Structure 1
């Protein structure tokens, strides 16, 4: 059994250690005797197609208000520094999945020049190989582009791609390698065997049903860990690391249909024999968390790097001999922010051709707009450019539900005014113009809601506006963002018509809520509502939506859906989708345009 005691001093070190201090510490800490041995684990997760610190939609270097940067080229410089510090024989580098979806780069090599057809190396694999990773777990987004694409990517990797709970639906045998054993031979010491187990969230069975149904099954992560961890120990693993492409907390789907989505903490608490877990999927920034195993009482260190390579987490393991075997005595975690590092020239060079092709692709014209469409007034007025989002979301969900029990249920759509600078010029519209409209990496989901819930939702959204007394005029320059509500938390609905009377108090503003044919919406009516994953997961604390039954979730990026729709038609004409269906009023007097 492991005895990974996390000392109080270890916690303090993890919280304050900076890259310069880490580099000066050396491979062996103070107070260790000749029988002690240090191992260092570096981890990334949820890279989502980021090789370089580049924003393909802005055609510029990536910037974030926090100052964080992205990309494997930045990660490479962190790894190089730590490898120089501790030595390659004492270092393991792992990735926690969701690598090959998320940017135009990965879209290009999945759809435009598919690596499964061209035989070219996947640019993400090229970058991982250049850095020198030891193992990766498959993430749920690895299945987005199909199994042939995933197999091609797997073949390009110089490391094993793990997935113990991903099994062949016909045989029950593992579809991916369940675990791997990495042996580290530090001069003067007995070799250390590190077992690395890969587990991924079962949600892919729903999100990529069209890809995996009948071919793959996704088994319970907790039960799978309980099966394989003892096998790894029996095979001689001195240290057990679990790569868990899952977070902590509730599931976004009905767990009577699938095992839980985010059971990382349950695995740590209930499965004995684990020393370290790398956590992912939820895009949180948690360098270190300790959970005590309820069977052994021993601590398990959980580390979650920030998404896209914003951080690389480091776990330092202090090993000691116990009855001739290595045992984990102490463990401490911390994070390097990649903004403090330059891009590695070798990774930049390796990615140059793929990057250049992608830049050319992003700057392509996708369609011609028949007239200019601006988002400048979308935060207080129904505009064609937001109606474009609503139309694509509605059409996507409506088509996906054909032949299901929800085929005849009215589909509504929710969108927010993300950008006041959004603009489709009259004439050529590029992929970058699309990105200027939909600035977030949201995916599309759909839930069922009642008429009463839809009304509650709109009332909550209407708190965005200040109260305007009867007889006074609404001023879009001052009567919005009430109580600090940001633009992205003002939601508009399509598929129904309604008015918001700003002379009324918050919670009593929605009037004349009706179907498109004028039929008043009653409390017991049922609707399917298209919504982005941020809102559906609780972002903005809107009522009902986070607990509503999910009927559609294929993990498709909304931005890409907009691009695909425009590309398929070649023309963006407001006459095809623009419907004025909501208005602001003051004491029943329409707000002047």
Structure 2
């Protein structure tokens, strides 16, 4: 038998030599000497609990101006198509995080009927299990609802949930599975091993400080990859993919106290042995990008599949048998728009009970509005709908601190320009559409000087505009890429923002109760946990004394306040206290 094997091997070698000696055209027409196999990896990221193509805030099918669709039901159809095209055993499906937060569907099964108490399966686990994910990486929003709910979801997932750089605070040992190696069979050949390393975002330590402090630490993505990629290669991986919940611009929205927030390209540049990075967090559509590894000179493939299931990344790796080993000899990627396919009826049917329950919840009437209130102009005008948030936050803090003698101010940002309280019935979805994040309320102590600094920092949101120049609201805001949610407005004091002045010199006429604010005057300031913990990098807030932190969810406080009042009337709370100016002349 052994002799027969040797004879066959010798014959194969002679055949390969003969083929190699043929003219190029003749050789191309026949089987080449080297075995080449294509492995296809599919990837999602930042699904944010979008399962169906549905907008719970508008109570209708999702639609945007670009014609996008959302949801795992659409993703599933694409995945099924690619699996059928490539054949069984030639595809893998990964996700790069931010899975269990983001829609009322996620909120309902975290807070209204929590899976930690009911034992029901989380809708995202149900959908991802049915689609057949091979690995899922932790995003920063996985920690929003606390570690017990996260642990329950992980137990419900059939796919391993990865997070190599989330470590126990005391021991430094991995708190979650760092990597997984998937084996793909090749008929007549040794199997191909695909290693997947999952990396989450260090910003969790800031953004969810209340949930992770003293329990978890988040190490640098580059250092973590340098530790684990050699281990994965040492275990025989022929392909190494990093699934990273981190953007690719090398920047951070927080200070330098933590490892870099958006380090995906840095990982590709600095860590040898990586073939591709499927990244997320930035919500961008990046079909294909190559980064040169500075150690090896090799090209590393990067792709990001947008957000909410609007895109599916497809990565194709060509592997060639060289000296008995599989070697990556080619790679490419693209993102596929999910608006090109219908929803997978299997996923729609599977999730219908939980979807219907959520729809019923968000359509519950909580109050009436005396008139229509829109947030469309909130980024550049003081609007009543944002004053409603300010009023509820201020009242909540005042009630919680009955012995306080300091003035109470409040901070809020325009989270959604499309938010509207219609005249008449106000439903849960209207309030949730105004306050789209699961933030909790705190109160801190700041001085007048610190408040001035804070407002100057916030005012960098506006592009500089000379007196008399035409005003175009489309280009007025979001200077240097500052998102709407990082433009804070302050209630309880009055001030002007002179957008004809450079950044840092814009706040004028800062007054409290009609008088200029002294630098040493103290205030209590209502603020959300994201901002207080350092999100957005605003000055003074992380080190300011915390006077109140009862973990009250701001969205729920808005709903309960509306329910108790019965009517939302801007006459009760609208207080225009800030405006944009140029050399003292109001812009609007």
TM-score range relative to shorter protein: 0.7 to 0.9
Cα distance change on mapping 1:411 and 1:301 into 2, 3 Å: farther
RMSD of equivalent CA atoms: 4.4
Deviation, structure 1 residue 499: 5.7
1:551 to 538, 542, 545: 542
* Secondary structure of the corresponding residue to residue 183 of structure 1: strand
Cα deviation 1:58-107 (Å, max 9, x = unaligned):
11000011111110000001101110111121101101111000000011
Residue of structure 1 equivalent to 2:492: 495
Deviation, structure 1 residue 390: 2.7
**Whole-Å Cα distance in 2 between the matches of residues 485 and 576 of structure 1?**
30
**Whole-Å Cα distance in 1 between the matches of residues 259 and 583 of structure 2?**
51
Question: Could you tell me the TM-score, scaled by structure 2's length?
Answer: 0.78
Structure 1 residues not aligned, in runs of 5+: 1-28, 469-478, 539-544
**Whole-Å Cα distance in 1 between the matches of residues 95 and 233 of structure 2?**
22
Mapping of residues 12-161 of structure 1, within 5 Å = 35-161=35-161
Cα distance change on mapping 1:228 and 1:550 into 2, 3 Å: farther
Residue of structure 1 equivalent to 2:5: none
Residue of structure 2 equivalent to 1:251: 252
Deviation, structure 1 residue 376: 8.4
Cα distance change on mapping 1:442 and 1:69 into 2, 3 Å: farther
1:368 equivalent in alignment to 2:370:
no
1:431 equivalent in alignment to 2:428:
yes
Deviation, structure 1 residue 240: 0.9
Q: Is the 8 A contact 1:46 1:281 kept in 2?
A: yes
Cα deviation 1:339-393 (Å, max 9, x = unaligned):
111101111111111111111111112x334744633896687554321123356
**Whole-Å Cα distance in 1 between the matches of residues 226 and 277 of structure 2?**
14
1:571 equivalent in alignment to 2:564:
yes
Mapping of residues 393-472 of structure 1, within 5 Å = 411-416=409-414, 422-423=420-421, 425=423, 428-435=425-432, 437=434, 451=452, 454=455
Residue of structure 1 equivalent to 2:22: none
1:520 to 503, 516, 532: 516
Cα distance change on mapping 1:207 and 1:499 into 2, 3 Å: closer
Residue of structure 2 equivalent to 1:205: 205
* Secondary structure of the corresponding residue to residue 283 of structure 2: coil
Q: Is the 8 A contact 2:200 2:246 kept in 1?
A: yes
**Whole-Å Cα distance in 2 between the matches of residues 229 and 459 of structure 1?**
40
Q: Is the 8 A contact 1:44 1:311 kept in 2?
A: yes
**Whole-Å Cα distance in 1 between the matches of residues 580 and 96 of structure 2?**
47
Residue of structure 2 equivalent to 1:168: 168
Q: Is the 8 A contact 1:392 1:562 kept in 2?
A: no
Please, which moves more after superposition, 29-38 or 86-95? 29-38
Aligned length: 532
Deviation, structure 1 residue 462: 9.9
Mapping of residues 175-194 of structure 1, within 5 Å = 175-194=175-194
Q: Is the 8 A contact 2:431 2:558 kept in 1?
A: no
Cα distance change on mapping 1:530 and 1:83 into 2, 3 Å: same
Cα distance change on mapping 1:524 and 1:302 into 2, 3 Å: farther
* Secondary structure of the corresponding residue to residue 542 of structure 2: strand
Cα deviation 1:274-314 (Å, max 9, x = unaligned):
11111111111112111111111111111111111111011
Residue of structure 2 equivalent to 1:284: 284
Structure 2 residues not aligned, in runs of 5+: 1-28
Cα distance change on mapping 1:584 and 1:301 into 2, 3 Å: closer
**Whole-Å Cα distance in 2 between the matches of residues 138 and 377 of structure 1?**
33
